[in-house]
Amino acid sequence: MTREVTFVEAVREAQAEALADDDRVFIMGQEIGEYGGVFRATQGLAERFGAHRVRDMPIAEQSMLGAGVGAAVMGMRPIVEVMFMDFIACGMDAIVNHAAKMRYMSGDQLRAPMVIRTQGGSGTHHGSQHSQTLESWFLHVPGLAVVMPSVPQDVKGLFKSSVALDHPVLFIEHRALYRTRGMVADPLAPIPLGQGVVRRWGEDVTVAAIGKSVHQALVAARQLEEEGISVEVIDLRSLVPMDVDLVLESVSRTHQLVVAHEAVERGGWAGELISRVVAEGFDELDAPPLRAGSRATPIPFARELETVMICDERLIARRVRECLGLVEYSV
């Protein structure tokens, strides 16, 4: 059977199922216990599973993430919630220097299976230090999986695979999606990491995206359809591992590629994907692939300023037209 849930309900259910299925799973974070999480992502979990397994933390990201690594190497499977993705900067040492490297540098004696759950993104006027989209940082550190679901079903299916993985996982949610709704199969099989999905079939241009940008790509595709342009939209679902084959297959039919993400365009992961496609599928391309990402500024507060610099459906549509040579490319 299937039923409709919101994105944040799916996050909550995914964690509840992980706690119920495996005694080694526990959650750490700020305001996640009785309070239920500032976005209600852990509501009711402390009551159901106990405060020792749904542990409220002092505001101390470095020790929270580091204790997660230490518990993981001793056999636990922690879920660590970083309230805002911006705050992950305070705990980067634990992720980059410890979690990511334990298994490799110990010759596989230590493993750090942990899910680092966090949320980010713009659109709620939280300003420069509560709105960033920073997943690209983690692609550059070998040893970390990076997952960004776009719909409730994927939240649950990808979470199952993330908890089961014997490597640390960055599980990144966009808070603008929390109240969106979607159908979820029950029971639901795990969705393997590294398997993208085609959200919309098209013939002229492939748009590969992730998270909230998938929804914006679909909005752009509907607009472009009215202009007679047929857009295929791929939801990558995870960035490490990344389903490059799915993108190559799509590009072999459309011969055009736009990669869209809310992360800053400069140095963003779109460059990585495009580089792979150029290297492995150059002959299929009819035009240079383009990136649709946010402008390289901190995120401003005022509505009128934020919309100027954040990648949205209008930028994605423009990049598609640029790709097809209908308008001139501009940064």
Active-site amino acid positions? 130
Q: Give yes or no for a contact between 257 and 208, defined as CB atoms under 8 angstroms apart.
A: yes
Of 59-67, 123-131, 208-216, 254-262, the window that binds another protein (rule: CB under 8 A) is: 59-67
Q: Name every residue whose Cβ is closer than 8 Å to that of residue 170 and which is 6 or more positions away in sequence.
A: 95, 116, 118, 135, 138, 144, 145, 146, 147
Per rule CB under 8 A, is residue 67 in the interface with another protein?
yes
Look at residues 162, 211, 168, 150 and name the one whose alpha carbon lies nearest to residue 190.
Answer: 162
Cis ω before 149 (30° cut-off from 0): no
Q: Choose between 105 and 302: whose C-beta lies nearer to another protein.
A: 105
Of 9-17, 106-114, 200-208, 270-278, the window that binds another protein (rule: CB under 8 A) is: 106-114
Look at residues 286, 288, 22 and name the one whose alpha carbon lies nearest to residue 159.
Answer: 22
Q: Choose between 57 and 207: whose C-beta lies nearer to another protein.
A: 57
Q: Show the CA angle centred on residue 96, arms to residues 14 and 246, nearest 5°.
A: 60
Tell me the per-residue interface mask from 201 to 240 with another protein, x by CB under 8 A, - otherwise.
---------------------------------------x
Q: Give yes or no for a contact between 66 and 91, defined as CB atoms under 8 angstroms apart.
A: yes
CB atoms within 10 A of CB 304: 7
Q: Which of 106, 124, 275, 307 binds another protein (CB under 8 A)?
A: 106
Q: How far apart are CA 12 and CA 212, in angstroms?
A: 19
Q: Give how far the C-alpha of residue 123 lies from the chain's centroid of Cα atoms, to the nearest Å.
A: 16
Cis ω before 187 (30° cut-off from 0): yes
As measured in angstroms, the least distance from the Cβ of 145 to another protein is 6
Q: Choose between 112 and 316: whose C-beta lies nearer to another protein.
A: 112
Q: Choose between 238 and 256: whose C-beta lies nearer to another protein.
A: 238
Q: Give how far the C-alpha of residue 136 lies from the chain's centroid of Cα atoms, to the nearest Å.
A: 10
Place of tokens 């509907």: 222
Nearest 10 degrees: Cα torsion 147, 150, 151, 155: 20
Tell me the per-residue interface mask from 174 to 203 with another protein, x by CB under 8 A, - otherwise.
------------------------------
Q: Which of 33, 42, 103, 322 binds another protein (CB under 8 A)?
A: 103
Q: Which of residues 125-164 bind another protein (CB under 8 A)?
A: 142-145
Tell me the per-residue interface mask from 70 to 89 with another protein, x by CB under 8 A, - otherwise.
xxxxxxx-------------
Per rule CB under 8 A, is residue 68 in the interface with another protein?
yes
Per rule CB under 8 A, is residue 92 in the interface with another protein?
no
Of 39-47, 61-69, 175-183, 292-300, the window that binds another protein (rule: CB under 8 A) is: 61-69
Look at residues 151, 226, 221, 222 and name the one whose alpha carbon lies nearest to residue 191.
Answer: 151
As measured in angstroms, the least distance from the Cβ of 62 to another protein is 5
As measured in angstroms, the least distance from the Cβ of 68 to another protein is 6
Residues that bind another protein (CB under 8 A): 23-24, 26, 52-53, 57-58, 60, 62-64, 66-76, 93-94, 97-98, 103-110, 142-145, 167, 240-241
